[in-house]
């Protein structure tokens, strides 16, 4: 009888997987991402990317083709991301160059920040507690606080703290840590709107861990289901990628 | 734990109000986060524009140089128009046109000239997502290395005007080869077959010449296949040859070492003549030749990428052989190596650095050093480039150094400095 009143602890890995499903459409899709970067409250950079993503049937992790749309000097350059397998292609020189994860093309945002990632595939989640926290709209939300530990050495962040809305599995915010333990960045997931069948965040605000005046806003728009054949997701297709 | 959480929730509720509205009065996020979120609230909601199918920029350069000799100083003045179009003109049919006009006025060596380079002009038909055909002038570029690409066979005689020695720019500002090409793709593999027919025998230096004699001097073929064994192991195997070119086999590979290092290498082997024989048009029997480039690129946490590459060409003269050549022949060999984009001597080191956002956002510094290991001479290039949204300003400095008789002493220029302004239209 008493047990009926005890709040059953949720399975943290399932909570994480559910929050992944909020961010990530289950079928291949396309989205436009606009990055606006601020230093000391002044806009310093803006980039627009068109992204095509598809989950790998074997690993469950997303593979993405990223086309630079703006600024003009970078327009139509491409990046292929499949985990840590990263290729950069410049149509002017026809050169496909392998990048290391450390090579950042987009200022503060790591290459992995802008594309879809299934955290539940790369991290082991632990429930650290249940607490009220302010979301990106400054609204208090009851949230599960998860501690994520990397299960693969190939991930961008060694450890993550993530707050997931207890009511609907929406990711609220996350704090990303380096192996040394220092805070790399904080991300707020906000401006939820109906996109591709459910409410999804259409904006992520990233705050640098060392310099909080360094802020990047990622805006997601133009969501659409897209056919992304497996043959597109390899280096030798990059010169051919020209969606109509 | 539960109690603590409840107490914290109660404190938060008391402190910041229970309702969402109240929360916005006294929010419960760290002050830095609130500042950031307020900033994001004010970010413009500008609509995203699709990328234009064309790119057009004009570029102007002014510089001074110094030649080796008694009357060394010279000026460089350049104006360039650069255009590229790439779009679908019908379902499954893509058209690419890329052209650059350089008008150079210089009293140095080489003297100024007006040169138009039709870099690419081709149609690409995607019969399916997995099968694509190209017809026209295509800049076919293979190779995993940065400073010297043995498997990039169509680079030979592809340069019409050298306005920037950066290897990435040299790969861009060159004439493609007129080809018929087919590519078949699978989920993990690709196979490309290319035929480059003979269209003319000799190069044409007229300003607006298509210059197919330089890019299509004989019937040639290239077959390139790759298979992705894993994310880190995706090698490419190539076979190249033609009427005037004995078959060559090539291999490309790059892989990741940790999260900050990329290792790469490329290698070719086949029969051919020496560089000296090619430069002097000497009759010489073909012999086995090998070319290779291997290296590492390391990227720091502050966006500085450093590349070290070892380069080898068995067809080029060793140091002893180079020193036996008369000065005029050395210049011929160097000019031939430059035209073929081949190594002028047996071995070199190539070091490249690129630092993005150095000190200030949008300011990049790049530099390379070509250290000739046979004659102890070097070519050095340094560039600082600042980018606005629609313009770039660059300062470039190039130096060729070495004692008399060395490879880079044979370059007529001792050094050049130029300022380059590019404006996107």
pLDDT digits (tens, 9 = 90+) for B117-160: 999 999 999 999 899 999 999 999 999 999 999 999 999 999 98
pLDDT at A140: 94
Instruction: Tell me whether A138 touches chain B (CB under 8 Å).
Output: yes
Tell me how far apart the terminal alpha carbons of chain A are, to the nearest angstrom.
62
Chain A CB contacts of B139 below 8 Å: 93-94
Are A85 and B231 a contacting pair at CB < 8 A?
yes
How far, in Å, are A11, A59, A109, B346 from residue A123 at the CA level?
A: 14, 13, 20, 50
| Res B26 pLDDT > 50 | no
DSSP helix/strand/coil, B129: coil
Q: What is the rounded CA–CA span in Å between residue A76 and residue A47? A: 12
pLDDT at B264 over 80: yes
Q: For the residues A19-41, what does the mean pLDDT come to? A: 91
Contacts of residue A1, Cβ cutoff 8 Å, sequence gap at least 6: none
Q: Is residue A205 predicted with pLDDT exceeding 70?
A: yes
Mean pLDDT of chain B, nearest integer = 89
Contacts of B260 in chain A (CB under 8 A): 100-102
Domain-embedded: residue A2: no
Per-residue pLDDT at A114: 66
User: Phi and psi dihedrals of A8, rounded to 5?
Assistant: -70, 130
Residue of A nearest to B91 (CA): A244
Q: What class has domain B54-424?
A: mainly beta
The span from the CA of A52 to the CA of B326, in Å, is: 58
Q: C-alpha distances in angstroms, A35 versus A43, B295, B359?
A: 11, 33, 21
pLDDT at residue B131 in the model = 95
Structure tokens at A119: 């955290």
> Of B2-11, B28-37, B271-280, where does mean pLDDT reach its minimum?
B2-11
| B174 pLDDT more than 50 | yes
Q: Is the pLDDT of residue A111 over 70?
A: no
Task: Provide the residue range defining the domain that includes A168.
Answer: 9-238
Mean pLDDT of chain A: 88
Entry pTM:
0.87
| Residue A176 is assigned to a structural domain of this protein | yes
User: If you average pLDDT over residues A132-140, what whole number do you get?
Assistant: 93
- When scoring B2, B20, B40 by the number of chain A Cβ atoms within 10 A, the one with the most, hence best to mutate, is B40
Measured CA to CA, the distance from residue B182 to residue B348 in angstroms comes to: 35
**pLDDT recorded at residue A39:** 87
pLDDT surpassing 60 at residue B214: yes
User: Which pLDDT band holds residue B108 (cuts at 50, 70, 90)?
Assistant: confident
Burial of B90 (0-12, 13-18, 19+ CB in 10 A): exposed
Query: Touching check for B329 and chain A: CB below 8 Å?
Result: no
Is position A188 within any domain? Answer: yes
Contact between B250 and B267 under an 8 Å Cβ cutoff? The reply is yes
Show Cβ contacts of residue B267 under 8 Å, excluding neighbours closer than 6 positions: B150, B151, B250, B251, B290, B291, B292
For chain A, what is the radius of gyration of the CA atoms? 18
Question: Considering its fold, how many domains does chain A have in total?
Answer: 1
Interface of B with A in 97-136 (CB under 8 A): 98, 124, 126, 129-130, 132
Where are chain B's structural domains? 54-424
Residues 6+ apart with CB under 8 A from A118: A17, A20, A24, A55, A60, A61, A62
Neighbours of B331 (CB within 10 A): 15
Q: Is residue A232 part of a domain?
A: yes
Inside any domain, residue A33: yes
Q: Interface pTM (ipTM) of the complex?
A: 0.85
| Of residues B4 and B360, more confidently modeled | B360
Strands A171-177 and A183-195: antiparallel
pLDDT band at B10 (very low <50, low <70, confident <90, very high): very low
- Is residue B334 classed as helix, strand or coil in its secondary structure? helix
Residue A109's pLDDT band (boundaries 50, 70, 90)?
low
Residue A93 pLDDT > 50, yes or no?
Answer: yes
Is A97 part of any domain? yes
> What is the pLDDT, as a whole number, of residue B251?
97
Contact (CB<8Å) B188/A234:
yes
Element (H, E) at B24: helix B20-25
Q: What is the pLDDT of residue B302?
A: 86
The C-alpha R_g of chain B, in whole angstroms, comes to 27
Distances (CA, A) of A96 to A28, A38, B34: 24, 30, 41
CATH of the domain at A187: 2.50.20.10
Neighbours of A147 (CB within 10 A): 16
What string of DSSP letters covers B256-288? EETTTEEEEEEEEEEEE--HHHHHHT-----EE
Write the pLDDT tens digit of every residue in A169-189.
999 999 999 889 999 999 999
**Cα Dmax for chain A:** 72
CA angle at A94 for the pair A77 and B215, rounded to the nearest 5°:
150
Which member of B94, B232, B361 has the closest CB to residue A242? Answer: B94
pLDDT of res. B231: 80
In this structure, is residue A156 part of a structural domain?
Answer: yes
Q: Evaluate if residue B51 carries a pLDDT over 80.
A: no
How does residue A46 score in pLDDT terms, banded at 50, 70 and 90? confident
Q: Is the pLDDT of residue B30 over 80?
A: no
Q: In which band, very low, low, confident or very high, does the pLDDT at B389 lie, cut at 50, 70 and 90?
A: confident
Which of A44-48, A86-90, A106-110, B22-26 is least confident?
A: B22-26
């Amino acid at each position: 009888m008493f047990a009926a009143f005890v709040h059953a602890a949720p399975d943290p890995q399932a909570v994480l997987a559910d929050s992944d499903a909020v961010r990530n459409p289950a079928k291949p899709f396309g989205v436009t991402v606009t990055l606006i970067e601020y230093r000391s409250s002044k806009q310093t950079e803006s980039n627009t990317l068109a992204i095509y993503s598809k989950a790998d049937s074997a690993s469950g992790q997303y593979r993405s083709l990223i086309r630079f749309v703006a600024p003009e000097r970078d327009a139509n350059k491409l990046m292929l991301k499949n985990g840590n397998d990263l290729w950069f292609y410049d149509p002017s020189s026809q050169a496909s160059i392998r990048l290391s994860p450390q090579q950042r093309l987009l200022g503060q945002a790591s290459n992995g920040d802008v594309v879809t990632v299934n955290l539940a595939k790369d991290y082991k989640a632990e429930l650290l507690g249940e607490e009220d926290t302010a979301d990106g709209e400054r609204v208090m939300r009851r949230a599960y606080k998860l501690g994520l530990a990397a299960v693969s050495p190939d991930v961008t962040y060694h450890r993550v703290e993530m707050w997931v809305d207890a009511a609907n599995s929406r990711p609220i915010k996350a704090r990303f840590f380096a192996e040394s333990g220092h805070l790399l960045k904080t991300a707020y997931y906000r401006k939820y709107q109906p996109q591709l069948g459910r409410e999804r965040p259409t904006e992520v605000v990233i705050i640098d861990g060392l310099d909080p005046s360094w802020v990047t806003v990622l805006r997601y728009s133009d969501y659409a289901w897209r056919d992304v054949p497996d043959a597109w997701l390899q280096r030798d297709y990059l010169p051919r990628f020209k969606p109509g | 734990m539960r109690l603590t959480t409840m107490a914290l929730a109660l404190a938060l509720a008391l402190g910041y109000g229970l309702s969402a509205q109240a929360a916005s009065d006294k929010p419960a996020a760290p002050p830095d986060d609130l500042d950031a979120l307020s900033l994001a609230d004010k970010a413009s909601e500008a609509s995203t524009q699709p990328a234009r199918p064309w790119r057009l920029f004009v570029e102007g350069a002014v510089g001074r140089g110094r030649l080796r000799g008694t009357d060394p100083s010279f000026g460089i003045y350049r104006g360039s128009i650069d255009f590229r179009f790439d779009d679908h003109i019908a379902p499954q049919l893509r058209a690419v046109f890329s052209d650059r006009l350089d008008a150079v006025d210089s009293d140095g060596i080489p003297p100024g000239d007006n040169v138009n380079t039709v870099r690419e002009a081709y149609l690409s038909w995607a019969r399916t997502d997995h099968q694509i055909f190209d017809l026209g002038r295509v800049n076919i570029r293979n190779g995993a290395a940065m400073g010297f690409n043995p498997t990039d066979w169509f680079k030979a005689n592809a340069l019409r005007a050298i306005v920037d020695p950066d290897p990435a720019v040299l790969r861009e500002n060159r004439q493609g080869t007129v080809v018929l090409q087919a590519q078949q793709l699978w989920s993990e593999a690709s196979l490309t077959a290319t035929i480059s027919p003979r269209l003319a025998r000799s190069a044409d230096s007229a300003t607006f010449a298509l210059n197919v004699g330089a890019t299509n001097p004989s019937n040639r073929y290239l077959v390139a296949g790759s298979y992705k064994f894993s994310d880190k192991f995706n090698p490419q195997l190539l076979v190249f040859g033609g009427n005037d070119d004995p078959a060559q086999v090539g291999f490309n590979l790059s892989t990741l070492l940790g999260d900050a290092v990329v290792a790469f290498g490329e290698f070719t082997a086949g029969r051919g003549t020496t560089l000296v024989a090619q430069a002097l048009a000497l009759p010489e029997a073909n012999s086995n030749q090998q070319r290779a480039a291997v290296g590492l690129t390391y990227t720091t946490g502050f966006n500085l990428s450093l590349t070290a590459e070892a380069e080898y060409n068995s067809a080029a003269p060793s140091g002893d052989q180079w020193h036996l050549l008369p000065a005029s022949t050395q210049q011929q060999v160097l000019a031939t190596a430059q035209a073929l984009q081949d190594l002028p001597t047996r071995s070199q080191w190539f070091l490249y650095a690129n630092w993005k956002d150095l000190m200030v956002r949008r300011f990049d510094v790049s530099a390379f050093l070509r250290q000739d290991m046979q004659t102890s001479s070097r070519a050095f290039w340094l560039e600082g480039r600042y980018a606005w949204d629609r313009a770039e300003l660059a300062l470039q400095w190039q130096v060729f150094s070495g004692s008399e008789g060395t490879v880079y002493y044979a370059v007529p220029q001792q050094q050049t400095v130029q300022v380059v302004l590019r404006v996107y239209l």
